[in-house]
Structure 1
């Protein structure tokens, strides 16, 4: 009886394996790479620059009617540059539904934690005092997370050797010093993925995307408004099928983000109390801008969806 049960069990496993093999054989390699769950180690390089300028100007009047003008302000510049290690988890699926083929959905989460070089310069000036300046630099903690989701539709071309997938995307980026949530931004956008099969095992991958950042931290509370904050993304990679279900992955991604110059101003007309003129209240101006270039290299592996189906039976 035990022998019969063992034979039946082995037969079921064999049938499941054949079913998985048949499903894979019928799947184009460029589609198969979009049906994986993967994990990678990453190394991320960032070069981030930011600058802020603030100035006050106005006039004061004495009881004798003499008028004095004054001006004061400050500006600061900072730069963060260096590599940080991390990891990335990916999951994607491509399926047919509602009479539509190669529908696509994916999710990705990445984390970075390390130190980068940090340089800071500050200078201030005022009409009635000498200029003041200082600078410092050193190592600084750098923590960041990236969460992204995509949905789209794939189009097979060139005898199923090429797959083009336009997609919509959205996600959340966070960064910090002592913790991961000091600063955060939601983003939404669109892009295009391209997968090309050199062989039945090796697939070249490319990706381009653009997003609008929905909110940004400006650091001022005086009616400061920021113009469009854009996030550009691009990446290349390879996916190599070692076994029927196990894949090796590697590649690099580049992103560029820029917060356009932000301006704020507040001008008040002259004022007076009785016979004493107060002159004009301060005229306030502020400008702020930042940009960041980020390169992330990744290497890891993935499990193709048919194996997950087999293990789940």
Structure 2
């Protein structure tokens, strides 16, 4: 067999060896970075991670044991914290609705095939990147400093993040829409808004609604977390009961139970709704 016939095989084997070398170097670098990061984190951790890992279950066991001892109080606490849960759900619902409406506008303005002003596409996309990159808790902390505590800072923070996240998803769906109905309406003199409303909206509505429902689930968790920084809702009550410590742990369990049951219920209902919207059938 000639050398020319062997050269492709030799090149392939050389490429495989180079990839193995690069892969080995990356693996070694990853291990070194993980080890150094672990040592740094353990050195800065109060008491050391390895010393404390044996007690990692002490606090949950203490909470559950107190709740088991005072289990008769749980139904009353569930009723007591139900209004706070409703406030959390309201924050998530309003934020999802406002963020979804803003995202829909941004999506059609940033979709290259649909944008009425092409020069706006890039600035709008970069603006959505900024909104999506900023964590809700950072925005909420700034707004709490400016506006004070309460549900309004949480709602604004979640709305901005939702607009950025859904705007990206909505724009991708809009760009994949069939343009033939748009061209048909344009041929009979329909304006840009009419083309979007009658040709694009019916195509993207199922996927947009599915993404909005999924985002609503995420926003429930986000609004509960923001309560820890003073943004209202059931998260604020959870932080308060944890700060009181022993004697209030049955209330902590009641709040966790409310959150867990609510998230499970919303997940189940939204799964069924998304299946109907996207597939047109019933969820399994």
TM-score (norm 1): 0.23
Which has more helix, going by share of residues? 2
TM-score (norm 2): 0.25
Which has more strand, going by share of residues? 1
Higher relative CO (Cα under 8 Å, sequence separation at least 6) belongs to 2
For the pair shown, the structure with the greater C-alpha radius of gyration is 1
